[in-house]
Each structure stands twice: as C-alpha cells, then as structure tokens.
Amino acid sequence: MNETLHEPSQGTKYALFYITGGALVIIWSAIWYYYLRHNAAPDGDSRYYVCTGLFLSGLAVLVIGILVGRIGREAKHADIPVGTVTAATVAPPAQQVVNGPPVAANGAGVAVQPVQMPNQATSPRI
C-alpha cells in the first residue's frame, strides 16, 4: 500500500476565511439596509450607497472564497509531496543459519562445548 503524504494546501484556509468574511458582510449589510428602510432614511442618503457597496463587496468576497476552494481542490494533485508511506515487507533470510560446533553433555547433564587445546609446539614460551 503506497500512500503519498502531501503538505496541506493554504487554499482551504483562505477559502474558509473569504467565505466566512463575505457571508458576514452580506448579512450585516442586509441588516443595515433593513434598518435604513424602516427608520425613515431619505432615499437619496449616501448611507444607501455605502450599504449597497458593502453588500456587493461581501458578495464578491464570498464568490472569491468559493472559487479559491474549488481551485485548491482541483490543484490538490499538484501539491508538493512530503513523503511516501509504504507497508513493510518481510523477506525470508537469504541464507540458512549455520549452527555452531556440536555441544556434548557432561556427567551432570549440563551441556558443555568441547574445549580445543592449542598445540603446545606452536605456543610461545615465556
């Protein structure tokens, strides 16, 4: 199972920021427009102009957020990979284990390894 890890894209964070910000500006612009209409503000008042500008700006920011999210989702395959996760494979040993010299049992039943004595003719004398 190979699964490539990617660094999370910044587009998602920005998309959420733009969508949330745009939606909040639209909501508060609509509340302000409702307030202006029901509190006898004159029709030629500049507050309507500012309210409409804020509403349209919020709408533009909302659309930008939606597009940034879509673009980020479409370009997800182009993100820089951080690494690859692979499953560990277990391979049999390349060669068989070679046993050591044979072990003999002493009179008490304890396994002992035979001791090889060095040749006295070749051992150095002190």
Segments making up each domain of the chain, as ranges: 10-84
Percent of the chain residues topping a pLDDT of 90: 29
- Name the pLDDT band for 70 (thresholds 50, 70, 90): confident
Question: Rounded mean pLDDT of the chain?
Answer: 77
Q: What is the CB-side half-sphere exposure of residue 103 using CA atoms within 13 A?
A: 8
> How confident is the model over 6-33, as a mean pLDDT?
87
For residue 17, the SS3 value is helix
Distance CA 47, CA 49 (A): 5
Secondary element (H or E) of residue 21: helix 10-38
Secondary element (H or E) of residue 98: none
User: For residue 65, how many other CB atoms are within 10 A of its CB?
Assistant: 20
Find out whether 21 and 61 touch, Cβ atoms under 8 Å: yes
List 104's β-bridge partners, or say none: 112
Find out whether 104 and 94 touch, Cβ atoms under 8 Å: no
Q: Model pTM?
A: 0.54
Q: Strand 3-6 vs strand 81-85: parallel, antiparallel, or unpaired?
A: antiparallel
Give yes or no for residue 23 having a pLDDT over 60.
yes
Q: Which residues contact 58 (CB under 8 A, 6 or more apart)?
A: 21, 22, 23, 24, 25, 26, 29
Of 2-11, 12-21, 51-60, 68-77, minimum mean pLDDT range = 2-11
